[in-house]
Structure 1
Amino acid sequence: MGTTAATATTVRHGRAGLSGQLTDLGVERNGVLLVHASMRAVGPVSGGPGAVVDALRDALGAGGTLVVPAFTPENSDTSTHYLDRVRGLTEQAREAVRASMPPFDPATSPAPSMGRLAETVRLTEGAARSDHPQTSFVALGPSARELVAHHRPDCHLGEDSPLARLYGLRAQVLLLGTGFGTCTAFHLGEYRVPAPPRRTYRCVVTAAGRRRWWEYEDVALDDSDFAALGADFSRADDGAAVRTGPVGSSTSRLFRITDAVDFASHWLPSHRGGAPVRALGCAHR
């Protein structure tokens, strides 16, 4: 007697279905949207990350602007990424790693730790990128160049960064299959607390055509408690600020950047007692 093996069918999501889910979640037509995404959480998509970018732009409409972080901790020796990479190495091996780090170039430097969707946006024709050598942003749409212009090199995510411009436009933030641990918006709240702690950063840049190390001081960024911050934010006002729903196979969250930053700037002073320990946001996949 023969037997029939049950074959699991993998559901592949499509551009139109994803766009509809994004609209149902509340993505605003002709708005500005900052996205952190996990393609792994979204699940298999016909057309891959490119189709997800298209779905996001469909939901936003022709007048909408899509923004993603394009951070580059790979070219810094003060980043968590570097410290993890050289842990246990000899001093000679560490120097070899430092010597191999390429300088930041907004036109060509990849941002692998930000995930596949962010890289897809970065490589899309017409994308504009800010000039910060560590915490650049990439944008697509009518407001793209205005949003990423004049990103001061000694201001990661503060008042002279695209994050503050997103706040001024009351942009929405989409955590596409990611948790609040990746919520870059909370960093602007760190700048807005009284007398935020500061630290030294260092990265590789190009100056006068030559590769060199550049050292600067800025607010000490720390995302280690963002998951707890986000949990409290999502419960505030009986959950009114955060919309949650399916996008692909993921559970995603949508909220206004102004709500997130304002909540963070009040939450952080009463919940932090120690020194910040991390320099950049979490990786995406």
Structure 2
Amino acid sequence: MPDVTQHLLLRDGHTAAQLHELGVRRGGVLLVHASMRSVGGDPATMAAALRQALGPEGTLVVPAFTTENSDTSRAYLDRVRGLSDEARAEVRASMPAFDPATSPAPAMGTLAETVRLAPGALRSAHPQTSFAALGPGAAKLLAGHRRDCHLGEDSPLARLYEADARVLLLGTGFDSCTAFHLGEYRRPSPPRRLYRCVVGSEGGRRWWEYEDVALDDSDFPALGADFCRARPGAVSTGRVAAARSRLFRLRTAVDFATEWIGERRPDGC
């Protein structure tokens, strides 16, 4: 009877084989959005399977976004809706300052957190939309993430585009497809807005306000559906563990999104 270690290796190997069948290749760069609730199993086993599928020369990337330190985020606005001014002030005062070394990203799911916390993982510096990565390409992909650029040309998304990365939606839908946001930046004169978050400083913590492109993922499911219809063969679909999953080139998705957003969204919206 195999011991627990052997059992985990067998499971990793089976899942890695499913990933290869879907199209994940050794030595590649892979951006993963995952719902472990849909996939089943534990995130450590899935992370191991992803790394096995990519091999030692491949690089695994996950979003490590934080909404917990911003009073302009959707999560904050939902949290304080209906509260008094005093109660809102108490919530703001309790919000943790972003620290790339320690700040968790619970909204990104357990697989992303497992990768972020793995030995050797690196994280980009943006206090709202950081990415974490494991592998030989991690430092280059995550470098230069400007703090006033969520997901544009000075973010890891643009470096992933240059690296011809693949996107894996592991038990998630196109509403989770961060790559589409790069298309928002690449449309002519995208609308902009103010963002605010609390960051660490020598004095402990401070609020920082900046302007960036107004991000909107509300139409991403429709965008994803049109992407699949208009680019037959661009999206590979299959089962990984218990979840239906999709794999596609980030470049193809971003190029389609740039054109689609430019045509479908009214000017200034």
Per the shorter chain, which TM-score range?
over 0.9
1:18 aligned residue: 15
Kindly state the Cα deviation for residue 236 of structure 1 after the two structures are TM-superposed.
1.4
**Normalising to structure 2: TM-score of the pair?**
0.95
Aligned to 1:3: none
1:160 partner amino acid? D
Deviations 1:148-184 (A, max 9, x none): 1110000000000000000000100000000000000
Given the alignment of the two structures, is residue 236 of structure 1 paired with residue 230 of structure 2, yes or no? yes
Task: Please state if 1:222 is matched with 2:216.
Answer: yes
Q: Distance in 2 between matches of 1:67 and 1:153?
A: 19
Aligned: 1:29 with 2:30? no
Instruction: Give the AA of the match of 1:112.
Output: P
Count of residues paired in the alignment: 261
CA distance in 2, matches of 1:249, 1:29: 23
Q: C-alpha separation between the residues in 2 aligned to 1:40 and 1:14?
A: 17
User: Which range moved further: 217-226 or 200-209?
Assistant: 200-209
Unpaired runs of 5+ residues, structure 2, are: 1-7
Instruction: State the identity %.
Output: 68
Query: Which of 68, 72, 78 pairs up with 1:78?
Result: 72
Which residue is equivalent to 1:185?
Answer: 179
**2:244 is matched with which residue?**
251
User: Is 1:170 matched with 2:164?
Assistant: yes
Question: Match of 2:80, as an amino acid?
Answer: V
Q: Which amino acid aligns with 1:120?
A: T
Conservation of the 8 A alpha-carbon contact between 2:98 and 2:199: yes
Is the 2:126–2:147 contact (alpha carbons within 8 Å) kept by the matching residues of 1? yes
Letter paired with 1:25:
L
Distance 2:85 2:62 in 1: 36
Contact 2:122 2:132 in 1 (8 A): yes
The separation in 1 between residues aligned to 2:16 and 2:80, in whole angstroms, is 42
Task: Encode CA deviations 1:175-217: one digit per residue, 9 max, x unaligned.
Answer: 0000000000000000000000000000001223431000000
Which consecutive residues of structure 1, in runs of 5 or more, have no partner in the other structure?
A: 1-11, 277-285
Distance 2:222 2:211 in 1: 27
Tell me if structure 1 keeps the 8 A contact 2:31–2:165: yes
Q: Which residue of 1 aligns with 2:259?
A: 266
Listed one character per residue, the Cα deviations across residues 62-90 of structure 1 (whole Å, up to 9, x for unaligned) are 10000000000110000001011111111
Residue 14 of structure 1: SS of its match in structure 2? helix
Q: Residue 19 of structure 2: SS of its match in structure 1?
A: helix
Per-residue deviation at 1:41? 0.8
Runs of 4+ with >3 A deviation: none
Query: Per-residue deviation at 1:16?
Result: 1.5
